[in-house]
Amino acid sequence: MQSETNLRHLRIVPDDTKFDFMRFRRVSFPISAMLSIVAILLYFHPGLNLGIDFRGGTLIEVQQKSGPADLAKMRSTLNQLNLGDVQLQQFGGPENVLIRISEQPGGETAQQEAVAKVKGALGDSVEYRRVEVVGPRVSGELLSYGTIGIMLAIGGILLYLWFRFEWQFALGAMIANVHDLVLTIGFMSLTQIDFDLTSIAALLTILGYSLNDTVVIYDRIREMLRRYKKLSMPDLLNISINATLSRSIITHVTVTLSLLALLLFGGQAIHSFTATMMFGVVLVGTYTSVFIASPILIYLGVGTARRESEEAEQAEKPKQVKQPKEAQVRKPAREPRPVARH
């Protein structure tokens, strides 16, 4: 019976997969570099669509009490108020409208006056589902807190990885994940998704999860480095990635399923959040761990001592100079705990 169930189980990745990922590093690195440049260009033009959290201003979500909302009529009503840039947008259903008013000149109280004017103009024909007003001072602070937050998170994770692995691993993970963030920001610039506080949350989560993925592969690479002293670095990386491939894919399927549920049923309010996560975690994060984070270790010098020690072994006499470097790379920092016998 057990063998029967065994057969029925879904195997997304065949057991003996030996895909040569390392061969792609000559393609993946230029592609990533190019995409990063495109993302940076997109960041400057058209740039992020900053929401009121960071730009200041007013956001009002209204629901027409009877029937669908007449956007054109509403627009002309609001344009008569002289509030500067007023944007209207259908939001969710046909009766829901999102009104965005740019920050009013004249400091904090002017924003409140704008809300009062809009409420006066629209009257009781609509239900005010949400009113958000962010004054100039708060928006400036939120932006700097957000930026500081991302920097802090990157710094904290870098320190942790440095402590747990070698510095090359920490640096490799960092390069890979800054790459993730850059691409995600490019994606947000391209799609003009609202960039607000929840986007900062999304970026930090992407950072956390794509690192999570990278760490799983790095853990395996470290284990392989200890176990197989003679294997060449590209082979070792290939074996490590292939060994964790099934896990990577299954996990990403489950995360994708959860995110898909949020995207389809979670409503407009968290739409930009989940869309960003979907892009960052699922599309970029996986690709990065396999094609960037792992091969970059070669360039950062992990395993150089290994190739040389192989040569040295053939020469039967290891050079003295290489000794410390090798020791550093293969420092048995934390042996896996001994298997408890029962």
Partner 1 sequence: MLFFSRWKAISVLVTAILACLFAVPNFFPDRMVQRWPGWAQRHIVLGLDLQGGSHLLLEVDSNAVRKEKVQALLDDVRRVLREARIGYTGLVARGDSVEVRIREGADPQVALAKLRELSQPLGGVLGGGGQRTVNIADLAGGLIRLTLTQAAITERIRQSVDQSIQIVERRVNELGTVEPTIQREGIDRILVQVPGLQDPTRLKEILGKTAKLTFRLVDMSMSPEQALQGQPPPDSEILKDRNGVPYVIQKRVMVSGEELTDAQPGFDQRTSEPIVSFRFNSAGARRFAQVTQENVGRPFAIVLDNEVISAPVIREPILGGSGQISGSFTVEGANDLAILLRAGALPAPLTIIEERTVGPGLGQDSIQKGKIAAAVGSVLVVVFMLATYGLFGFFANVAVAVNVAMIFGLLSLLNATLTLPGIAGIVLTVGIAVDSNVLIYERIREEVRSGRSPISAIDAGFTRALATILDSNITTFIAAAVLFFIGTGAVRGFAVTLGIGILTTVFTAFTLTRLIVASWVRWRRPQLVPI
Residues of this chain, 116-175, that bind partner 1 according to CB under 8 A: 116, 119, 127-135, 137-138, 145-146, 148-149, 152-153, 156-157, 160-161, 164
Question: CB of residue 302 vs partner 1: minimum separation in angstroms?
Answer: 17
Residue 201, strand partner residues: none
Q: Is 226 in the site for partner 1 (CB under 8 A)?
A: no
Site for partner 1 in 7-36 (CB under 8 A): 8-10, 12, 15
Categorise residue 171: left if φ over 0, alpha if ψ from -120 to 50, beta otherwise.
alpha
Kindly state whether residue 243 participates in binding partner 1, applying the rule CB under 8 A.
Answer: yes
Q: Which of 167, 77, 157 is nearest to 117 (CA)?
A: 77
Q: What is the dihedral of CA 283, 218, 32, 234, to 10 degrees?
A: -120
The count of other CB atoms within 10 Å of the CB of residue 113 is: 12
List 195, 209, 279, 287, residue binding partner 1 (CB under 8 A): 209
CA 83, CA 77: separation in Å to the nearest integer?
A: 11
Stretch near partner 1 under the rule CB under 8 A, chosen from 32-40, 73-81, 114-122, 291-299: 114-122
Chain centroid to Cα 230, Å, comes to 36
Q: Which of 28, 184, 198, 276 binds partner 1 (CB under 8 A)?
A: 198
Over the window 273 to 312, marking each residue x when it contacts partner 1 by CB under 8 A and - when it does not, the resulting string is: xx--x-----------------------------------
| φ, ψ dihedrals at 98, nearest 5° | -105, 125
102 touches partner 1 (CB under 8 A):
no
Member of 81, 201, 300, 329 binding partner 1 (CB under 8 A)? 201
Which of helix, strand or coil describes residue 64?
strand
Span of 22-30, 42-50, 210-218, 294-302 interacting with partner 1 by CB under 8 A: 210-218
Q: How far is the CB of 269 from partner 1 (least distance, A)?
A: 6
| Residue 196 neighbours by CB distance under 10 Å | 23
